[in-house]
Amino acid sequence: MAGAVCLPRCPYDRRTCSAVGVGAITASAAAVWVLSGLVTVGSVRDWYPTLAKPTWTPPDWVFGPVWSAMYVLMAAGAALVWLRRDDWVCTPMGAFAVQLAANLAWSLLFFGTRSPWLGFLDVVLLWAAVGVMTVTFFQVRPAAGWLVAPYWVWVTYAAALNGSIVVMST
């Protein structure tokens, strides 16, 4: 669907529009990454260690590097989709935006409000949004789908871990 209605017409040349779009994607992923970290840091030190967790919970030091890699992969995948904007990219880019919002909401709910239950409700929505993003990225550009597939696997694991924490704390 060339010339999709959901994307504004760029008043500049294609190269400039591509660079601005990739910059906006990178900045939005980085902003969520930083904000999530700021919300999380206090609770990781004094609240998260007190929670009952399953035996298959990874060591705390694993989360930072894995989440860092996930943000890089999601931004790279979204940039590849953006660069194909002659194709139909409204749904994949919309799913990218929705999952970024749900990702930030998870940090706010789980760590900010210290509520595993609210975090679990959000991570279910996050999982669905990442699923839509992954499938639609594959449709537009398979390489983009492969870049975000590990993120969907990680969110699946995170959802199972969050759900287990809810069950173990009741």
- pLDDT value for 3: 43
Q: What is the pTM of this model?
A: 0.90
For 29, residues 6+ apart whose C-beta sits below 8 A from its C-beta are 71, 72, 74, 75, 78, 100
What the chain holds in terms of domains, given with CATH numbers, is 14-51+61-168 (1.20.1260.100)
Reference 108, options 117, 96, 94, 119; nearest CA is 119
Residue 116 pLDDT > 80: yes
**Segment 53-95, tens digit of pLDDT:** 999 999 999 999 999 999 999 999 999 999 986 667 788 999 9
- Between CA 47 and CA 75 the distance in angstroms is 30
For 54, residues 6+ apart whose C-beta sits below 8 A from its C-beta are 161, 164, 165, 168
- pLDDT value for 2: 45
- Between CA 109 and CA 119 the distance in angstroms is 5
Reference 44, options 61, 26, 29; nearest CA is 61
Burial classification of residue 38, based on how many CB atoms lie within 10 Å of its CB (0-12 exposed, 13-18 middle, 19 or more buried): exposed
- pLDDT value for 6: 63
> How sure is the predictor about 7, in pLDDT bands with cuts at 50, 70 and 90?
low
- Provide the H-helix boundaries in the chain: 14-46, 60-82, 90-106, 116-140, 142-168
Find out whether 39 and 108 touch, Cβ atoms under 8 Å: yes
Residue 9, both tokens: 């017409």
**Segment 124-166, tens digit of pLDDT:** 999 999 999 999 999 999 999 999 999 999 999 999 999 999 9
- pLDDT value for 91: 87
